[in-house]
Each structure stands twice: as C-alpha cells, then as structure tokens.
Amino acid sequence: MGDPRSERPVDLHITYSQHFCSRCEKYFNADMTDLALPGSNYTHRVVSTAVRLVVENGLAYRVASWHLWRDHRVFVPFATIQNWVEASGEKRRNARRG
C-alpha cells in the first residue's frame, strides 16, 4: 500500500528462507505472520484498510475495492473484502449500535 507518512508506494523485497534443524531433522520456514496471515496474498495493512473502508466509512464492497485500487494500487476483489468484513464481525456490531 505504501508509506503512510509520505503516501508514496513502497516495494517490499522479502527474502523467503527455509531452514533445517539437524537435531530434529526437519525443515521450517522463517515466521512472517507479522506481515501477513499464512497463505494470504494481502498484508495485514491491506486487510485492515479494506475493513475500515466498509465499516467506518460505510462504503459498499465494490466501492471499497475500487478505492483500494484507485488510491493504493492494490487490487482486492470485492468478494474478498466481504469475507474479511464478515469474518471480523465488525459490520454486525455496528448494525446493532445504530
């Protein structure tokens, strides 16, 4: 998505490493869960921004998808955003309040 201060794009260059434990004779990967969920194509920041656009700003899923592309050059299908919002439970909590 980019640097939040300068609002300029940032390329992430990630070195993926696999290690071998000679004691237990198993391979394992370096932990990168602080950057993104395992198996995810999107960083935590992309997910939280998408959910915030829908929940706090009240944007429709398609509009939120377009906003991410227009402003951040990140393509996220609107159905993926819908899954994230439903998984977070945020929309239901806000619906009960209002």
- For 17-21, which contacts have Cβ atoms below 8 Å and span 24 or more sequence positions? none
pLDDT (tens digit per residue) in 42-56 = 999 999 999 999 999
Instruction: Report whether pLDDT(97) > 60.
Output: no
Average pLDDT, the chain: 85
pLDDT at residue number 73: 87
Q: What is the pTM of this model?
A: 0.71
- pLDDT of res. 60: 96
Mean pLDDT, range 60-73, rounded to an integer:
94
Dihedral angle computed from the Cα positions of residues 54, 59, 61 and 64, in that order, rounded to the nearest 10 degrees: -90
CA distances from 40 to 20, 32, 60 (A): 24, 11, 23
User: Which of the four pLDDT bands, split at 50, 70 and 90, describes residue 28?
Assistant: confident
